[in-house]
A and B are shown apart, each in its own frame.
Chain A
């Protein structure tokens, strides 16, 4: 703590100022910042599409935009948010910044590859953005054949090329993490002393490395079919469009865990710090992360319960989907138990972590509803599904990202944000989120199908509620953007460890020096070794 406040210590931010020093950097922390800026940009673009969607749905007649425009809006909302925001969000920003620091390394194992992954991301982004600018794409982010391969008249090829390319950025990030976590841990940092954040990123990386190539080749086949006019998914020559769905979901279901596992890692860090308490059931938590990654690969068929796959395949996928819920439940129980007899502070990151736990619980349990075959038949492709996966992806993944951003912002920038305003916006987000998406559960069970820009009038009230919620939600995202910017110049100096947190990243200065540690730390204790003493009660 003694070195805190020194404005002049050399750190990664003042180690070179030119554009070149940023664009050619191999420092994982600077690359994390590059990623942060890029994904924020894509988040804003995706958010704009969401805005148009919600505004259109204010009226059952869909008068705001034409059917084609609306279809492009939800497609591009999905493509940007999933491939260009959610998947890279935590791993490429916070993971990139923190994985080496948390394990006491000077950098990732392959710093140049790390920079390359950012350039690949940008290249993929350029393809996809140009597809959007040139008129957009309207296949749905799922690119189901034969609609995408033979019937859509929009820019499918540049979009799938963009997604194909950005996949390799994700693969390289995952590969880098796997090697770094395996080979570059500080002396004394055994596997079961690793913070859960690292476990979560390890599990995530496995999915990225093993899952992403499958969607890459699948989309390549769709691109082939569009360019040549024939393809293996074309039913006219005996091809099977359902095979596309199998290959697509083989990646795209585990991709959900790419989004949510790192968030779970963040919640473990935040909950322990703000309870000043060791994580309850550390080993079970670590195993649960790996179990989610492994089982996550075996449940893709639950996206296809009404696709005409065999009844027995449906049952097998249903059973496996129930199984994957168990480790998630174990995690929620363990976080709750960590609070027991802790010393709890309600700082902003903790509020977001609470938000995560609550919303993820609802999202996860409604996932059980979707795994239940007959009920899924009714709610499949309705707003129930939309609500469910937004609870997981926004309520889970994004809440976790916000928790992490607030938790490590002082470390990343060396500055504190205004706590009161941050708490207010966390609350706004929570309220706005629920108002947006809870009505969609009801809409879904009533039978409102997804991807409809006009709908029967009896669904209007719930849709208006949802749009109202979305405006509050939007506010909840805009406020942090401004106070984070503000804090860069005017924020209070944070000090090395403003939260009194455990973990190697808090031992070094804020912002950290270019090589993270002046001396490689030696680890002698388990993760989250908060003092187990009776602070007040005695």
Chain B
């Protein structure tokens, strides 16, 4: 009860960088607050009515002073802006070797799948010291995946994929919060993030695994929904082959090209006639009502496993 925390744990590589910037800001804030408070208090005492302090030479215009207190704060804020932008940019580019974990938010729980096939609810196991990229989407309203100890937060939005990445630096259990208000159970949409030693994590993966990886689940769906009848491993099917597709540029009927990223594959499954590949007919039916978000992610993981450009899969669209 009396163990009041005043500062959150720093448990990721970004956390300390953000905190440093935050402390710098706090320094500036305290400096300016002190300046104003001291100024106001000192002047009001010294020049209170009836005080003997001289009022000679009082002016109400001083261009130099005005320029000074316009330009100095401007320079300070622009300095912060540059520092901040650099860090923000880094926070959006996951390292090349980041491992992917898939997250689906729904009212009011987090559903998490590891590519190895492990599934968990409201808990995320991650290895220490390895960059992890979360690929997230929502099944209903907007949620937000917030881990205070890692200083990461990203809205989880229906109809598209968003990502966030972190690299844990400290073993332990940390809070996981939904930070975007999502209705009745918003405050219960919480969980924990467990940082383990890499070897413990491997053990956990092996121990809890159903033995079926995400891509093999995806492959099963691929057969089950009959995708395989048109999308063959060579170009003989009625649909284009998906081998080596991921992350490559695709020429469309309209003459435009798009990169076959996660969003593109998702759209092509749900809304097949939106972007039809050149020389193919728009004959594919939609799978919107038959497939859920988790299965979509398995299919994407399967398409990824068929090869393609890995760099494109890591390069964030942003």
Contacts and interface: CB of A to CB of B under 8 A. Distances in A.
A and B touch in their complex, CB below 8 angstroms: yes
Interface of A: 62, 67-68, 71, 138, 140, 142, 144, 146-147, 150-152, 235-236, 238-242, 275, 277-282, 284, 306-308, 310-311, 314-315, 318-319, 322-323, 325-326, 329-330, 332-334, 336-346, 354, 357-358, 361-362, 365-366, 368-369, 371-375, 377-378, 380-382, 442, 445-447, 449-456, 458, 460-462, 532-538
B6 interface: yes
Contact of A378 (B36, B60, B153, B160): B153
B183 A368 contact: no
User: Of residues A279, A311, A374, A375, which shows the largest number of chain B Cβ atoms within 10 Å of its Cβ?
Assistant: A374
Contact of B43 (A241, A311, A342, A456): A342
Contact of B54 (A346, A369, A537): A537
Interface in B5-49: 5-8, 14, 17-18, 21-22, 25, 28-29, 32-33, 36-37, 39-40, 43-44, 47-49
A340 B40 CA distance: 9
A422 B51 CA distance: 24
Contacts of B146: 381, 447, 449
Contacts of B181: 71, 140, 142, 144, 147, 381, 450-451
User: Of residues B17, B18, B181, which shows the largest number of chain A Cβ atoms within 10 Å of its Cβ?
Assistant: B181
Interface stretch (B75-83, B113-121, B297-305): B75-83
B180 interface: yes
B185 interface: yes
Contacts of A354: 40, 44
User: Of residues A277, A279, A445, which shows the largest number of chain B Cβ atoms within 10 Å of its Cβ?
Assistant: A445
B23 to A, nearest CB: 10
A447 B47 contact: no
B168 to A, nearest CB: 16
Contact of A449 (B73, B91, B140, B179): B179
B61 to A, nearest CB: 7
29 contacts: A71-B181, A71-B186, A138-B183, A150-B141, A151-B183, A235-B160, A279-B60, A280-B60, A281-B66, A306-B179, A311-B88, A318-B85, A319-B78, A322-B81, A329-B70, A340-B43, A341-B58, A343-B49, A343-B55, A344-B49, A346-B48, A354-B40, A368-B29, A372-B81, A372-B84, A449-B177, A452-B187, A533-B55, A537-B53
Given A306-B153, A319-B81, A151 B88 contact: no
Contact of A341 (B47, B73, B85, B271): B47
B240 to A, nearest CB: 23
B158 interface: yes
A308 B160 contact: yes
A27 to B, nearest CB: 36
Contacts of A454: 187-188
A373 B80 CA distance: 10
Given A277-B58, A372-B84, A536-B50, A339 B187 contact: no
Given A308-B160, A343-B49, A368-B80, A461 B1 contact: yes
A420 B50 CA distance: 20
A151 B158 CA distance: 13
A373 B88 contact: yes
Contacts of A151: 107, 140-141, 183
Contacts of A138: 183-184
A420 B318 CA distance: 59
A308 B177 CA distance: 18
A339 B44 contact: yes
Given A71-B186, A358-B40, A366-B29, 9 more contacts: A146-B141, A241-B157, A279-B60, A284-B70, A325-B77, A326-B77, A362-B33, A365-B33, A375-B18
Contacts of A368: 25, 28-29, 77, 80
Given A340-B58, A381-B146, A306 B154 contact: yes
A380 B153 contact: yes
A329 B186 CA distance: 37
B175 interface: yes
A147 B36 contact: no
A537 B50 CA distance: 9
B78 to A, nearest CB: 7
Contacts of A314: 88
B34 to A, nearest CB: 10
B291 to A, nearest CB: 14
B186 A451 contact: yes
Nearest to A382: B179
B152 interface: yes
Contacts of B144: 306, 381
User: Of residues A242, A340, A454, A538, which shows the largest number of chain B Cβ atoms within 10 Å of its Cβ?
Assistant: A340
Nearest to B26: A369
A292 to B, nearest CB: 13
B175 to A, nearest CB: 6
A385 to B, nearest CB: 10
Contact of B152 (A308, A342, A377, A446): A377
B199 interface: no
A467 to B, nearest CB: 15
Given A456-B175, A536-B51, A277 B155 contact: no
A332 B14 CA distance: 34
Interface string B69-106: 11001100110110011011101100000000000000
B7 A445 contact: yes
B142 A241 contact: yes
Given A318-B81, A445-B7, A325 B36 contact: no
Nearest to B93: A311
Nearest to B14: A374
Contacts of A453: 187
B25 A372 contact: yes
Contact of A372 (B21, B51, B66, B175): B21
Given A281-B62, A330-B66, A67 B142 contact: no
A311 to B, nearest CB: 5
Nearest to B154: A306
A349 to B, nearest CB: 14
B283 interface: no
